[in-house]
Structure 1
Amino acid sequence: MDTASHRTLAMLRAVAAGRGQVSHSSEPDLFVDGVPCCDQFAAHALTHDGLIRPARPGLVGQRVPAVLTGAGRALLSRVAAAA
């Protein structure tokens, strides 16, 4: 992800805080506090760009905790350092 919007950064922060779940799918959906994320295109991009991932294996369609990848943590760190 070349640029991160306020929305995608908020989504990453929610995952970092342990508030995110992701569905196992070729187009994973993100849930924050149990509610589907309003921007599923951005949620798909976060997973496809390698910024978030499922915390553990699961069945297709199953929701599992979402975690940041190293790239996701690095992006949040860069943004925090620039602020």
Structure 2
Amino acid sequence: MLNRRALAMLRAVGAGRAELTCSCEPDLRVDGLPCCDQATAHELARAGLIRPARAVAVGQWARAELTDDGQRALGGTLAAA
């Protein structure tokens, strides 16, 4: 079960406002600012709900995207974040 913060992070990713670092514990930034809850960002990535949209070198930033599971977690709708 996802809390409100995790859902808000998923909505930001779905709206194209987020980036991830390429790493085993990817960091997230939204609107160019570091996310205040990197632990939740790591959990979303480990759960397979978000991923980088393209392959980049380790430590580099890439646009984040929702996986199919991430879209399902939002109920198939992307409300404005």
TM-score by length of 2: 0.92
* Matched residue, 1:48: 46
Identity %: 54
* Runs of 4 or more consecutive aligned structure 1 residues displaced over 3 Å after TM superposition: none
**C-alpha separation between the residues in 2 aligned to 1:20 and 1:66?**
5
What is residue 56 of structure 2 aligned with on the other side? Answer: 58
Offset from partner CA, 1:12-31 (integer Å, 9 cap, x none): 00000000000001110011
Based on CA coordinates, which of the two structures has the bigger radius of gyration? 1
Which residues of structure 1 form unaligned runs of 5+?
none
Runs of at least 5 residues in structure 2 that lack an aligned partner in the other structure: none
Q: 1:72: which partner in 2?
A: 70
The match for 2:31 is 33
Shift of 1:78: 6.5
Higher helix share: 1
* Structure 1 length-normalised TM: 0.90
Whether the 8 Å contact between 2:19 and 2:61 is mirrored in structure 1 is: yes
Number of residues of Structure 1 aligned to a counterpart in Structure 2 = 78
- Secondary structure of the corresponding residue to residue 53 of structure 1: strand
Give the aligned residue type for 1:59.
Answer: A
Which of 4, 7, 11 is equivalent to 2:5? 7
Taking CA–CA contacts closer than 8 Å with sequence separation of 6 or more, which of the two structures ends up with the larger relative contact order?
A: 2
Quick one: distance in 2 between partners of 1:42 and 1:79? 21
Please tell me the root mean square deviation across aligned C-alpha atoms, in Å. 1.5
User: Which amino acid letter does the alignment assign opposite residue 38 of structure 1?
Assistant: C
